[in-house]
Amino acid sequence: MCGIAGQVRTDGRGVERATIDAMCAAQEHRGPDSRGIHVDGQAGLGIQRLRVIDLETGDQPIYNEDRTVAVVLNGEIYNYRELRSGLERRGHTLATKGDTEVIVHLYEELGADCVNELEGMFAFALWDDRRRRLLLARDRVGKKPLFYSERSGALSFASEIHSLLADPEIPRDLDLSALDSFFAYQYVPSPLSAFESIRRIPPGSMLSYEDGRVAIERYWRLRYEPQPVPEGPELHDEIRRLIRQAVTDRMISDVPLGAFLSGGIDSATVVAAMAEASVEPVRTFSIGFEDEEWNELPNARMIAERFSTAHEELVVKPNLVEMIPKVARHYGEPFADPSSVPSFYVSEMARRGVTVALNGDGGDESFAGYHRYVTASRTHRIASRLPGALRRGIGALGSLSEPRGDPTRPANRARRLASSLGLSDRDRYARGMELFTPAQRTRLYSRDLEDRLSGEPEPRLIETTWDHGTADDLINRMLEVDVNTYLPDDLLVKVDIASMAYSLEARSPLLDHRLMEFAAGLPGSMKIHGAERKVVMRDALRGWIPDSILDGPKRGFGLPMAGRWFRGELRGYVTEALTDPTAASRDYFDRAYVSELLDRHQDGSRDNSMKLWALLMFEVWHREVVD
């Protein structure tokens, strides 16, 4: 795992080595083992390397035989051994023993189509000196980030926003449309960033920069098209085979390797497959909290004992006043997934013992593990049985009242159900994924911000993705939306930044594209049965993973925010951060509405914890990055 950066100029000016050096230094945490820089007049590439494969000869940049092609890579190419063998048979001379070198030689043969041969998690930059051409590419699912900034006569790129901002030519003006999207979804969606001058390359895409022109092409997209499905045991055998293969591929490492272990199905499955493939006990790492409602250590301990791992665990007593600014700073833009905090803690813990950690990310998005899929499916069935006028009438009545207290209370669930009955499946799902609704954002924003947003399009990320989907059933359409939005722009961002903050490489076997393609070809009815989630995956894992794990409730990487933190130990910190003169001076928000959110949460009449968390992370980010 590494951090890459660089610049290409077409304005006649040469790239300054000091600029590339500064961009690398800004993301040294991603790769503290070595820094490599290539500057060739018009082009400059840089890398901060974390040595994982080929420790002796693998430092980058890497070149082809005549040094006319140079590449820097963030990530891993898991099929590099097979690719190396093929290249050598076809007459290429390889100077290293690692994975990065296959890219330059495949490029010599296939040009930009070389990306289709690569299996892994990666973001790479390749400079073709003969054609004066830059290629930037991200892996299929979007595990590794890549940002760029284009202006007249130059293009700069980097793995992190901080690195791009080390280029003094890049403006720091905020993208208000992106910030509007943040308050809608808790994250800034691709291809936007929080800064007008910076964009991110979408997952499964390649950017080419030649003769001063940018072109972006999507080379892979997950298709939800029905495929022939094996029956009975053959289906379960194929799921287990794909999981085992994905895990084995990701155990290639020349440095210590382990796994994050929660109390859930996905991480248990990864650890089970690792234990089968390893001659030594797998090293596993778990964290928990003193609050038993959020503590999964007992389940993690049971899995560790079942598969005889070398297990380490830590009960976290978070110092949030110190951790929150660090988290906000590392993400480089507003990011309000609260599970980023435990992700930082478990990464810090694991890095003390290993350099690479496998995780269970991706199972929920392929096999339908979230409660919202069940809720949407049930609501669809209810709505389809009611006349349209009745649905709309019930929806209007449900919208008249607001939830009170705990959102999981039966009365609040009934209100949400009623208010959504008059909506289409698409709009119902979009509403469920919103943090602040359009009406709430109107109340939140100051008059000045509303005026500045006037004319900007409303965030419609979910609706647009839904409309462009290929899935022909409701469950798979929701999965398709999540795979193209929530997964790459929230979950994968969360893990990449949290792990790389501690120079830890995180790998996700359940996001292997072959496993995802197989799962996408299964009908949604195999994934959700009534209130049961992940049905076909659970059935495939019977006898391998303990039934108590397979049949246990989904808890997620949660935090005791609503009560213990925001009404207890963090109450003063949150109130001060959101109401002090520094926050008030920005004139982004209606101060009365912010105070109302605080008051209604702290008196227990509303659960505004997620909204307050987003406002807090925005304010702290502004102080740490913008100010």
Q: What is the CATH number of the domain that holds 299?
A: 3.40.50.620
Is 51 among the domain residues?
yes
Higher-confidence position of 527 and 320 = 527
Q: What is the mean pLDDT of residues 524-539?
A: 96
- Under 8 Å between Cβ of 29 and 500: yes
For residue 329, what pLDDT is reported? 97
Identify the top-confidence range among 157-171, 222-236, 293-307.
157-171
Long-range contact pairs involving 177-182 (C-beta distance under 8 Å, separation at least 24): 177/453, 177/456, 177/457, 177/459, 178/333, 179/334, 179/618, 180/441, 180/453, 180/456, 180/458, 180/459, 181/459, 181/461, 182/333, 182/334, 182/336, 182/614, 182/618
The answer to whether residues 151 and 250 belong to one domain is no
- The full length of the chain comes to 627
The closest of 131, 125, 111 to 210, measured between CA atoms, is 131
Tell me what pLDDT residue 567 has.
82
pLDDT of residue 386: 73
Confidence of residue 410 (pLDDT cuts 50, 70, 90): low
Question: What CATH number is given to the structural domain containing 136?
Answer: 3.60.20.10
Share of the chain above pLDDT 70, in %: 92
Q: What is the pLDDT of residue 456?
A: 87
Tell me: do 189 and 310 sit in the same domain: no
Average pLDDT over residues 141-168: 97
Q: What is the pLDDT of residue 55?
A: 87
pLDDT band (50, 70, 90) for residue 418: low
Q: Write down which residue in 533, 550, 567 finishes a domain.
A: 550
Q: Which of 18-22, 226-230, 427-431, 614-618 has the lowest mean pLDDT?
A: 226-230
pLDDT, tens digit, for every residue of 554-599?
Answer: 665 566 666 667 787 788 889 999 999 999 898 999 999 999 999 9
pLDDT at 545 over 80: yes
If asked whether residues 212 and 304 sit together in one domain, one would say no
**Active-site annotation holder among 2, 37, 461, 537:** 2
544: exposed, middle or buried (Cβ count in 10 Å: 0-12, 13-18, 19+)? middle
Partnered with residue 209 across adjacent β-strands are 134, 214
Residue 287 forms part of a structural domain = yes
Confidence label for 108 from pLDDT (cuts 50, 70 and 90): very high
For residues 217 and 399, the model is more confident at 217
Do 253 and 208 belong together in one domain? no
432 or 316: which leads in pLDDT: 432
Residue 222: predicted pLDDT: 97
Regarding whether 202 and 249 lie in a shared domain, the answer is: no
pLDDT in tens, 168-211: 999 999 999 999 999 999 999 999 999 999 999 999 999 999 99
379 in any annotated domain: no
Q: Which two tokens stand for residue 21?
A: 């050096």
Burial of 545 (0-12, 13-18, 19+ CB in 10 A): buried
152 and 258 in one domain?
Answer: no
- Nearest one of 249, 254, 286 to 267, comparing CA atoms: 286
pLDDT at 258: 98
Q: How far is CA 485 from CA 141, 187, 203, 480, in A?
A: 11, 10, 10, 9
Residue 353 has pLDDT above 70, yes or no: yes
pLDDT at 407: 61
Residue 381 lies in a domain: no
Question: What phi, psi does 343 have (nearest 5°)?
Answer: -65, -40
In tens, the pLDDT along 234-248 reads: 999 999 999 999 999
State mean pLDDT over 476-494.
98
State the pairing for strand pair 69-77/120-128. Answer: antiparallel
Q: Where are the beta strands (DSSP E) in 53-182?
A: 62-63, 69-77, 120-128, 133-138, 147-151, 154-158
% of residues, the chain, pLDDT over 90: 80
Report how many domains make up the chain. 2
Please check whether residues 271 and 362 belong to one and the same domain: yes
* Residue 614 included in any domain: no
According to the model, what pLDDT value does residue 231 have? 84
pTM of the complete model? 0.94
114 part of the active site: no
User: Is the pLDDT at 411 greater than 60, yes or no?
Assistant: no
Mean pLDDT of 359-380: 95
Q: Compute CA distances 296 → 165, 291, 441, 544, 554, whole Å.
A: 39, 10, 35, 20, 11
Residue 239 located in a structural domain: yes
Give the H or E element holding residue 209: strand 205-210
pLDDT of residue 592: 96
The first and second tokens of residue 280, run together, are: 């030594």
Residues 213 and 267 reside in one and the same domain: no
**DSSP string for residues in 392-439:** HHHHHHHTTS---B-TTSHHHHHHHHHHHTTS-HHHHHHHHT-SS-HH
Q: Return the exposure string of 14-36: e unless at least 16 CB atoms fall within 10 Å of the residue's CB, then b.
A: ebeeebbbbbbbbbebbbeeebb
Mean pLDDT for the stretch of residues 20-47: 97
Last residue of a domain, one of 521, 550, 579: 550
- Same-domain pairing of 210 and 296: no
The answer to whether residue 620 is domain-embedded is: no
Q: How far apart are CA 212 and CA 9, in angstroms?
A: 8
Sign of CA dihedral 478, 479, 484, 486: positive
Whole-number average pLDDT of the chain: 92
Of 391 and 379, more confident: 379
The yes-or-no verdict on residue 81 having pLDDT over 90 is yes
Is the predicted pLDDT of residue 396 greater than 80, yes or no?
no
**pLDDT at residue 400 in the model:** 57
Of 143, 146, 151, residue with least CA distance to 135: 146
CB 298 within 8 A of CB 341: no
CB-based contacts of 352, cutoff 8 Å, min separation 6? none
Q: Do 255 and 207 lie in a common domain?
A: no
Ramachandran angles phi, psi of 77, nearest 5°: -105, 105
pLDDT of residue 596: 96
Classified as helix, coil or strand, 476 is: helix
Interhelix angle 320-331/609-621, rounded to 10 degrees, is: 70
Q: Which domain holds residue 296?
A: 233-320+332-368+482-550
Domain membership of residue 315 (yes or no) is yes
**Each residue's pLDDT tens digit, 436-455:** 999 999 999 999 999 999 98
Quick one: pLDDT at residue 120? 96
Judged against a pLDDT cut of 60, whether residue 134 lies above it is answered with yes
| Helix locations, 488-608, DSSP H | 492-500, 513-520, 535-541, 547-550, 571-579, 581-584, 591-602
Same domain, 116 and 245: no
> Which candidate, 45, 46, 333, places its Cα nearest to that of 196?
333
Look at residues 494, 529, 550 and tell me which one is the last residue of a structural domain. Answer: 550
Query: Is the model's pLDDT at 72 over the cut of 60?
Result: yes
- Do residue 243 and residue 202 come from a single domain? no
Mean pLDDT, range 487-505, rounded to an integer: 98
Ranges of beta strands (E only) in 295-396 are: 310-316, 356-358
